[in-house]
Structure 1
Amino acid sequence: MAEARGYRVLWHRGGVKAAWQPHRGAITLRLGMTDTATVCSLAHELGHAHHGDPPGHYGPMELRADRFAARLLVSPVEYALAETQYGPHPARLAAELGVTVKVLKTWQTLHQKELAS
């Protein structure tokens, strides 16, 4: 998806998990993370790229990128199936869906707001 949108994906050692570098049109990811952490970090940074965020993000931009990642990575159908099978346990659901607990909880919050609307 990143490359389809014209962004380069680069790798770095040490430091932050991931970063959107608009001046390079690139997202960098730290080597050595788990697959789940890598995918979730990439999705989060895609959120920054999608919204044209500058470097040095702050609160509202971070929340918006978290929401973008949650929408991108969690399918309502797959979530419902996992919850039916495993119950409401966030860590188990996140593992089953291949996302971090943070992404899962962000998705749950978004979904609850949509249901309330």
Structure 2
Amino acid sequence: MITMLDLEQLAEEMGVMIVTHTGGKKGGWNPATRTVSLREGMHEVQTLCTLAYELGHAHYRHQLGATGLAREQQEREANEWAAILLIDENDYMAAEINCDSISSIAHELGVTILMVRIWRQLYAKGKIPQYCIQD
């Protein structure tokens, strides 16, 4: 399971600075300053998933101002990158056996329901890259 410390170390390796803000959006990516901003006071699971998602934007070098289909693609890429990063296939399979709902799977994995849904869609399409699956 990926921890906040793991993501903070990844951000450092990517050359991304993490800052916080009060109120407003859960998070944001600023490519000009290579900064991810996270809203203070969120639940730890929401913070973890938001940081992974924003690092997805950094990974793909997304720029601000995209609209329409380009924005949808950026959002999809960031969400998919986060889901693959946060959810290990073996952990998911164990949770699927032991849990009776998507919310309990998400709780077991320490991620949001959205991340589980996205991961499931990718898995069903055969799009979970083997190099991302941890042993």
Q: 1:49 aligns with which of 48, 58, 82?
A: 58
Q: Cα distance, 1:55 vs. partner? A: 1.5
For residues 67-98 of structure 1, the C-alpha deviation after alignment (integer angstroms, 9 at most, x for no partner) is 000000000000001111113x1100001101
Q: Which residue of 2 aligns with 1:66?
A: 79
For residues 1-26 of structure 1, the C-alpha deviation after alignment (integer angstroms, 9 at most, x for no partner) is 11121100000001110001011111
Q: How many residues align?
A: 114
Say whether residues 1:99 and 2:111 are aligned partners.
yes
Q: Which residue of 2 aligns with 1:13?
A: 22
Find the residue that maps to 1:114 and give its secondary structure.
coil
Q: Which amino acid aligns with 2:120?
A: Q
Moved more, 51-60 or 39-48: 51-60
Find the residue that maps to 2:11 and give its secondary structure.
coil
Q: 2:45 aligns with which of 36, 39, 44?
A: 36
RMSD over equivalenced CA pairs, Å: 1.1
Q: Which residues in structure 2 correspond to 1:75-114 (within 5 Å)?
A: 75-87=88-100, 89-114=101-126
TM-score between the two structures when normalised by the length of structure 1: 0.94
Q: Which residue of 1 aligns with 2:7?
A: none
Find the residue that maps to 2:13 and give its secondary structure.
coil
Find the residue that maps to 1:2 and give its secondary structure.
helix
Mind listing any 5+ residue stretches in structure 1 that lack a counterpart? none
Mind listing any 5+ residue stretches in structure 2 that lack a counterpart? 1-9, 128-135
Q: Cα distance, 1:56 vs. partner? A: 3.5
Moved over 3 A (4+): none
Taking every aligned residue pair, what percent have the same amino acid on both sides?
A: 37
Distance across 2 between alignment mates of 1:22 and 1:14: 21
